[in-house]
Amino acid sequence: MSLPHPPVSTTRPLFGQVAVVTGASRGIGRAIALALGRAGAHVVVNYRTSAQAAAHVVEQIRATGGKAVAVQADVTDPRQVEQLMDAAVALGPPRILVNNAGTAKSRLLLDTTLEEWEELLKSNLTAPFLCCKAILPHMLREQYGRIINISSIWGIAGGSYEVAYSASKGGIIAFTKALAKEVARAGITVNAVAPGAIETEMLAMLSAEERQALESETPVGRLGHPDDVSHAVLFLASPSASFMTGQVISPNGGLVT
Ligand code: NAP
């Protein structure tokens, strides 16, 4: 059994730690995978359909001297989640899980179908539930773990035309706080990162006017970069963040305070 508090290197503080990042083929997940890789983690780059993009992320991590492997799995499917975690465990005890994979849809509540509602809850809430259930036995055995759930400012403040998305992202905040209490004594921390508007393909659904409005409403005067999120995740994933649990960190440029 490995030590509950592994020795920390200042240059590669996550050296050798197996880290699973869901939805890491692009956007925020990609930035998180690269940051964890630079910090020395052995990264499991999960993707659903973007095999080529995921392979490129793996190449980039290896190019900086890190270790990574791409694993295809739809994280809304319990069987595929088990396979994803089996692939991680084959590399060593998984110490870090970042539940990043998610989908968004902008709709008035009255235009939202039951199928759309269920789809959003499945990808943004059920998937993290499945991933946590599958990884926790390994973390409990090691008495160490770092779980980071990617929420959204709309999970804190509620987004207009995004009732279903906001409900799923608010749900993951409550999930985070409750699970943090359940596993705290086992050396496992559970935190949420709730980004503001970040430049990724997810923002493609916004019109030019909507983007501009978001930019000017954001006190720092710009949209976020995926690395604005990965920096927060890197902190929460580090062994030294052992007193941070059940918290929500929101890199949002001051949009929601
Ligand atoms: P994105 O560019 O649309 O990327 C989504 C990623 O999730 C892709 O890698 C996609 O993989 C993966 N994915 C989606 N469903 C999946 C599933 N069922 N199984 C496995 N992988 C799946 O999104 P993003 O902007 O980077 O967002 C990442 C997270 O941050 C999401 O949870 C999102 O809600 C949250 N967030 C984003 C923003 C923003 O402004 N961008 C703000 C706040 C919060 P494939 O390409 O292989 O399908």
Q: What is the pLDDT of residues 158-178, one digit of tens each?
A: 999 999 999 999 999 999 999
Q: Which ligand 1 atom is at minimum distance from the Cα of 101?
A: 7
Q: Note the pTM of the prediction, 2 decimals.
A: 0.96
What phi, psi does 67 have (nearest 5°)?
Answer: -120, 140
- Kindly list the protein residues whose Cβ atom lies closer than 6 A to any atom of ligand 1: 22-23, 25-29, 46-50, 74-76, 100-104, 123, 127, 150, 152, 195, 197-198, 200-203
Structure token pair of residue 78: 């319990």
Contact 123, 102 (CB under 8 A): yes
CA of residue 100 to ligand 1 center, whole Å: 6
- Exposed (0-12), middle (13-18) or buried (19+): which is 160, by Cβ within 10 Å? exposed
Range of lowest pLDDT (5-14, 74-83, 118-127, 220-229): 5-14
| pLDDT classification of 20: cutoffs 50, 70, 90 | very high
Contact 25, 57 (CB under 8 A): yes
CA of residue 170 to ligand 1 center, whole Å: 16
What phi, psi does 145 have (nearest 5°)?
Answer: -175, 155
Collapsing DSSP to helix, strand or coil, 99 comes out as strand
So what's the pLDDT on residue 203?
Answer: 87
Closest CA to 237 of 133, 96, 129, 47: 96
Res. 32: pLDDT tops 90: yes
The conformation of residue 104, written as its DSSP 8-state character, comes to -
User: Is 165 a known active-site residue?
Assistant: yes
So what's the pLDDT on residue 1?
Answer: 44
Catalytic residue among 47, 144, 161, 165: 165
So what's the pLDDT on residue 204?
Answer: 85
Ligand 1 atom 9, closest CA: 23
pLDDT tens, 236-246? Answer: 999 999 999 99
Q: Which domains does the chain have, with CATH numbers?
A: 18-249 (3.40.50.720)
> Which stretches within 93-207 are classed as H helix?
114-121, 127-142, 153-157, 163-183
So what's the pLDDT on residue 164?
Answer: 98
Residue 6 pairs with which residues in a beta bridge? none
Ligand 1 atom 46, closest CA: 50
So what's the pLDDT on residue 6?
Answer: 54
pLDDT tens, 35-84? Answer: 999 999 999 999 999 999 999 999 999 999 999 999 999 999 999 999 99
So what's the pLDDT on residue 10?
Answer: 72
Among 20, 21, 26, 119, the mutation site with the greatest number of ligand 1 atoms within 8 A of its Cβ is 26
Mean pLDDT of 201-224: 92
pLDDT tens, 205-216? Answer: 888 998 999 899
Q: Distance (Å, rounded) from C-alpha 99 to C-alpha 121?
A: 14
Closest CA to 72 of 92, 62, 58: 58
Among 43, 48, 82, 156, the mutation site with the greatest number of ligand 1 atoms within 8 A of its Cβ is 48
CA of residue 150 to ligand 1 center, whole Å: 9
Closest CA to 85 of 133, 123, 126, 125: 133
Res. 2: pLDDT tops 60: no
Q: Which ligand 1 atom is at minimum distance from the Cα of 229?
A: 30
Res. 4: pLDDT tops 60: no
Res. 248: pLDDT tops 50: yes
Q: Tokens 């055995």 map to which residue?
A: 141
Among 43, 47, 211, 252, the mutation site with the greatest number of ligand 1 atoms within 8 A of its Cβ is 47
Region at 143 (left for phi over 0; alpha for psi -120 to 50; beta for the rest): left
Res. 110: pLDDT tops 90: yes
Res. 17: pLDDT tops 70: yes
